[in-house]
Amino acid sequence: MTTPDTTKLVCLPYAGAGASFYRPWVALAGDALEITALQLPGRERLIDEEPYRDAHQAVDGLLAQLRDRLAEDGGRVALFGHSLGAVLAYELAHRLVTEPGVELVHLFVSGSPEPDRGRERRATGLSDEDFLARVGEFAGYSHPALDDPEMRELLLPTLRADVEMHENYVRSTRLPLDVPITVVRGEDDDLVGHEDAVSWNKATGRDFASVEVPGGHMYLTEDAPALLDVIVATLAS
């Protein structure tokens, strides 16, 4: 059973994902963490809302949503984001360090180079088939729903918006975060190399750690327990 002192792990979605991706984490985390998954428009219960195409506008919306979640008790907060979610979590961290009543204790970023390192190859602007092929190539993974023509038609606009948001992202500040950062990488990730991952050490003025876990770029879709073990152990220390 969680207590007021339990750290809230605020989870940000990767491109195309919704908050429900993190629902199984609630049971996996048990009493160690309170999983708080934020939702972007254009998916799940917000499917009819226009998705963001600008990361900073997205963070404005995410911060407002998080304020509502923290209104009653605030407390200890850690952030987690994978790929697109990593840069959203980074920008949200810069907002939260000055947020009254919130103690931001850690930033966990995954499957992403630090904010100044963008991808050279882009998917934005390609035809639907080429876009999906390029995104699948990037991730080494394709959601089964994209194989269904009706579901693909429903999901594609949001996935395109998320990828555009990620590919056009420019960091809001070069000031180092006054928050410890741990970067997690799948050891077989062909999209984000080891040097890309450890480049996050430039983003913090506090402790930094780099951890590798089994799997490729989308390792967290197959082995969430290994990732949560890293997060729980890091926060416990």
Task: Provide mean pLDDT across the span 222-231.
Answer: 93
Rounded Cα distance, 231 and 146, in Å = 31
CA atoms within a 13 Å half-sphere pointing along the CA-CB vector of 82: 25
Strands 208-213 and 8-12: unpaired
State both tokens at 11: 């989870």
pLDDT of residue 107: 98
pLDDT of residue 4: 56
State both tokens at 69: 């979640």
Stretch among 101-110, 134-143, 149-158 having the lowest mean pLDDT: 134-143
pLDDT of residue 12: 96
pLDDT at 184 over 70: yes
Task: Provide mean pLDDT across the span 17-39.
Answer: 93
Query: How many other CB atoms sit within 10 Å of the CB of residue 18?
Result: 18
pLDDT by residue (tens digit) across 159-176?
889 988 998 899 999 999
pLDDT by residue (tens digit) across 77-132?
999 999 999 999 999 999 999 998 899 999 999 999 999 876 666 777 777 778 77
Instruction: Please compute Rg for the chain using Cα positions.
Output: 17
pLDDT of residue 112: 92
pLDDT at 144 over 60: yes
Task: Provide mean pLDDT across the span 220-233.
Answer: 93
Phi, psi angle pair for 70, to nearest 5°: -95, 0
If you search the block for the tokens 């394709």, which residue do you land on? 142
pLDDT at 145 over 70: no
| The pTM of the whole model exceeds 0.75 | yes
Task: Provide mean pLDDT across the span 48-64.
Answer: 95
pLDDT at 76 over 70: yes
**Contact criterion met (CB below 8 Å) for 133 and 104:** no
Burial classification of residue 191, based on how many CB atoms lie within 10 Å of its CB (0-12 exposed, 13-18 middle, 19 or more buried): buried
Stretch among 54-63, 68-77, 192-201, 211-220 having the lowest mean pLDDT: 68-77
Among the listed residues 107, 102, 101, 109, the one whose alpha carbon sits nearest the alpha carbon of residue 78:
107
Domains and CATH numbers, the chain: 8-117+171-236 (3.40.50.1820)
Vertex 20, ends 91 and 79: CA angle to 5°? Answer: 30
pLDDT of residue 20: 94
Mean pLDDT score across all residues of the chain: 89
If you search the block for the tokens 């917000």, which residue do you land on? 46
**Contact criterion met (CB below 8 Å) for 140 and 218:** yes
Alpha carbon distances (Å) from 77 to 37, 168, 188: 12, 28, 30
Longest dimension (CA), the chain: 49
pLDDT at 16 over 60: yes
Distance of CA 88 to the CA centre of its chain: 6
